[in-house]
Each structure stands twice: as C-alpha cells, then as structure tokens.
Structure 1
C-alpha cells in the first residue's frame, strides 16, 4: 500500500482520547505516538501470535512486542492456560500463596547462579531495590551506572542522569556516576576516584555488542577488590540470551541481578535475585539492621507467577532461546541483503544479538537520523510491519520473516531516493519521530 493511501483515522481519534486522559497518551514513553510518524501511530485492538490488529482493522507483523516482553507471541496457549487456572483459584490473599514457593523454586532452578529471589511487578522496582540493598550492605551512597545503557529505572537515582530530570534534586543526581561499557581501565579509575564511596556497579551484561573477552570477569574482580556490589540488569538479556540470562551464557555470577520483560510473556512480573547473604538482609532471618527491600501488594499475584512458571518451562522444554536466535539470524540476513540490493547498506544497519535486533537509520553523512527513521517506519507500517525494532518473538514463522524482508526492500527503495535527493522531507508526511529522552516536548 502506498503511504499516501495508508491512513489510520480511528487510531488517530483513539490517540486523541488517550492524550485527553493519560499524560503522554500511553503508560510507557517508548509507546508514545511521538515515536511514530505523524498520524500513523496505530492503536491496538488485539494480538495473536506474532500479529496484531489495530482499531482501523489493519493487521501487522509485530516486532519488539510489548517492549520485548512478549517473546513467545501474544496469547500463547501454555501461558494463558496457566493463568486461567490460577485466576479461578483467586489472585491475592492475606498470606503468601503456595504458588509463591513454586514460582521461586522454578526461577532458581532456571537461574541457578541465584540463591534467593523476590518478585515484583516492574523492572524499576527491582533495580531500585538492588541499589538500596547494595547501599545498605556497603554503607556507601554512590551508585555507578553503565552510561552506555539506555535505561535502568524510573526512580530518581537514574532518571536524574537523563535529559528528563525535572523534579529531581541535584543532590540525588550527584550520587550517581557512570562508567563506559567494555572499558575496565576507566571503571577502575572511577572506583579509585571515589574509593570506598561506590556501593554498586550496575549494568546490562550485554547490549548491541558482545562483551569484550574477559570484560565481565574483570568487572567481577574489580567489584570484589573495591568492596562494591556487582548488579546485572537482565531485563532484556534474561531468557533471550539463555534461559539463565547472560550470566548463564557468559559464566560470570553477579551479586544481584534483575529480571523482567520476557519473564511473564506480557504479564506483569519482575524479579530481584542474588546471593543469600545479601538478599536475606531484606528478610527476617538475620541479626543486622533491616532493609526495606521490596514490599508490593500485587508483587505475588498468583496468575502472574503462573505465567512466569509457564514461560520458563516453555523456554527450557521447547528450546525457545535457540529459536529466537535462528529467526533473528534469518531476519538480519534478509534485511542486510535487501539494503545492499537497494544500495543503502551503509545507511540502514542491523545491530545486536540475533535474539534482540535493533536497526539504525543513518543520513547522507552517516549520522543517526530521526528523519530517515521516520521515512523507514512509514514504509514499514504501510506494508503491514510494526517494527520499532527488529526484536523477534518465537511466534514468527519463515513466511513472516520473508514478508518483512519484502517490505524492508520496498522501504529501502524509497530510502535510496531520499539519499539521492539529499533530503528526506518529501517522504516524511509530517514531523519526524522523536527520541524518548529529551528535555522539552
């Protein structure tokens, strides 16, 4: 379908309804309509497997489902059946459910590098709990974050370091420092500069590139030598890198780690896991000062715990991680071939591990471009591909991948025209898409 013919009138009205009542028009900034071409932000009606339908009736092949949380596909039968069973038995009680013990056992069997686990509803709660626990255990106030990773928490200790720092006291932000990924010397220099002040190092163990040889083991040694806590944020790498996360794949054990995203296949669940000695500080079986670790009314809803158990079982029994990699490799190969065929291989780049692919859109000078991203997204949407990233789910099949590559090739033909013209503006159809983190609207 030509982009001029592709219209979303019902989605446009629905977006107005959303903005009238919900700040930003969505409950996650990364889902905002400013992330999509003007007037082409679909509002979803429903999804099944690797496909979603918008309120205008269009069907899309979907990537990055639920911001990477739906890795098995929408309404996966093993997950939904497990959820239905628990909903009929009640979801929240005045005392722990036996399901909490079962879910913890299942998690710790899947992630054997952890000794204890506590569940919550979102990633921010568990990363902030990890920071609090590290501060309590070390008696230190500073937190060192990996500055090359985009997001750790909605809480002040992290958001104060972003361009959207309004409302956060400078005194809070000053307690957070950053280190570059892959550079042990720079990290050691930071630890020396703030000797005995840094409570923890927190990072995603892997991102768009593989960790340099010896890097994670080197961080482990630095943390031990400087007496700080090593925290792996496995929100994205958990399950997608291996069933036991990046720590299971690379063989380096952090003191604490956080999981979420794929853990519930769209159901709200996150986990803080780690060494018993640290985790027990938030419990009742120690003699030290108590840490208010995590205390959430809905953190152990039985149906979400059941979803997590079903997800982990499915990953292990059906080899889901390997399937994600195979699908991602097929997609990356096809997209790169399509881009090369249209002469834009230096401008449309596919990056990341096969199970977690993203794409970059570069301008005539090889610089990242929101305008070219807008052009590219418009063509994908018109072709029935909803892809803020190329992160795959296991519900995709070869036909989905092949159709996606066809649509990408069509988009690359327009990309080439814009590059030749030296100006993508005629193909934007309105304002460019915007970065999530920016100071002004």
Structure 2
C-alpha cells in the first residue's frame, strides 16, 4: 500500500450512502491523513419539475433523512465526521475546500446532465490544484471491466447479459479501515427535518409492502432476514410477481437506489447463501435482476440524454397526448381499470409499487391512455422510494415502445390481474373502503 500523503480528503456522498464496499471512501482513507465527509440535501431535488411534480416527494425524503442519519452514525464509528447541508453543492463546496484546506474531493461518478452540470460548476469554483477523484460505484459489473467504448453496448439485454456472465468477473468488495479519534472535527451541522425540506410529518399507510426504514443498517438487516433467517431467497423466482406483503420480493431496491448497499454486496451474499444452502433458479434470479439494473445504467451511458427524450433511444415519432384530467385520474386510481387503480393507490399511499404493478400501470398509461410516457416517468420519479434515474427511464421507455423492447408489447391488464390477483386480495386491499 502506498504511503499516505499529509493531505485532507473530502468525500462528497451522493447515491453511495454506505460505508461497506464504498470505493470512494476507501480511496479517501487510503490516500489522506485526514478525511472529512459531506452530504448535500440539494434544493433542486425538492423543487417542481416541468410537469408540476416535486422531484422528490415525502416518502423518499423521509427515507433519505433516515439514510443520512444512519450514515452519519456509521461514519462516526470510523471517526469520520459527516457535514450535512440543505444547500446545493456548487454553492458550498468551494468554501469547504478553503475552510478545511481540502486537497482532493472524492465522489461517485455520475453522467446524467444535472449531476454533470454540478460537477462543472464546482470545478470552476475551486483551485485546479484540488484533485477531483471520481469512480463508478453503483454497478455490479464495473465499467472498467465491461467496455472501453459504451457505444458497443448491445441494444438487447440478453446479448449483454450472456457476454458479461461468460467473460467478466465481478470484483470483490473493498474493505474500509477505521481512522484514529483525532480525525474527527467539530460539527455544527444537522440533518434537516421533513418540515425543513418542505413536508408535513406523516405516517405511511400500514398496508404498505415496504415497512422498512432507510439506511445501511436496515439494508444489511434485510439481507440477513431474506437470505439467512427466512431463506425466502430460495423461492424468489416463484414469489417475485407477488403484490401483497413484504416478503414476495427482496425489497432491496430503495437501499440500492441511494447506495445504502452495493450491488456487489448483494451478489456476494447470494454466493454465501448458495455455498451454505445450495444454488437454484431463484438465487440466480436475484443476480439476473441486478444485471438488468446494470443494463439500464449502461444504456444511459450509451445514449446519454436520449433516455429523457420523447422518442426515446429509438427516435420513434409516435403521437403522445397530455390530457391533465386523464393523467389525474390515473394518479388518483380513478381509471376504468381496477387493477391499475389498486396499484396507483398503493403508490400514492406508500411510495411503493410491485414490479408487476409498475409494468401494468406504465403500459396502461402509454398504450391504453396514450399519454406522454415522460409524464408517467416523472410521477414515478417523484413518488417511488426506490427511484433510480436509469432504471426508471429505461423501464418507461421499454413499456412505451421507445426503448429496449424489440417486441413493443402492450400489457393486457385484466388478464394480468386474473393471473396475479385471481383472488382479488390485492385489489380488495386498496380499493375497498372501510367506515372505521
């Protein structure tokens, strides 16, 4: 290991809100005598988008507060101080660099426009002597091992998956060491409250299928429960299209989305489970879903801002509508379709919806109601606990027929309801009104 320089590193946390298997945290610790951490509750992510939705609604805001509070404690256990601000990073980082004599900034590599714009403004505001160190820290298959040219990424998932599984190794998790007590600094900053972020306090509907809190500690507990206590992972492929309850699927996605846990950690825990209890189609299917998640990130790397364009990556010139009344009926669960309505009410009341539900309501919005799919995607962005820019827009393009689905399918929502909710258990849960 190289000798540490007598320097101070600032780790700027983004969607990598964990200490376990955090490449940037490791680099900061390995290369500096002193390490300080910072997280920004960036006001632009709590403002309204062009369609009139808050970019981050109350469910994800609360989950984020819980996550950052947990991160603060976990970093404190490593003797690293986490500064937190309800401010944009481009307005604050230069003063932090000056106040703490920062020599290098470590942050997760991002490539979508808003994040890149922030980076550009920050680099302009600080001395060129300050190193800006980035790394892709949100993949199962690290981009360095996948492609030197993202234009070569296949446009069909199966071709992508088969090549990766055959030729590319998944890296080991990185280990993080504890720093000495003298690394701590005085911290007068506080994690903002829901009210400070512009929300009223609330309690999530008790019927939610995602009753979990934010943060790495909760994510690791969930892995322990789902893999080793209940061993539900051994039946994942049979239950993953469920609609009711917390154990029909892994429920890892909200923690994965903000980086409370890494895809590699989940992968290696699957391998640990398989070594103890045996591999089967279900254990493989968890990894299969992680590869899908990677795939949408690679498609975003390949096509850049096209994933946000109405014609998608295929440049399809379809006619889309934007009828406010029809869109509001979809949001409120007041369409002619009871299966769509039940799913939309679940989302509105909890910030969660099953994978099966998402495919159906998105297909209904784009293919039945013929509304601009980007409006549906923006609504999901606002409400979903597990919003991930690449998966969200990748999936919406897919169901709208402007993305990675060569067959351009339309879901028959009533047949889907018959197949996945034949006993009406899910629809009754969300559509039946009670007096008391």
Fold match (TM-score > 0.5): no
The answer to which structure has the higher strand fraction is 1
The answer to which structure has the higher helix fraction is 2
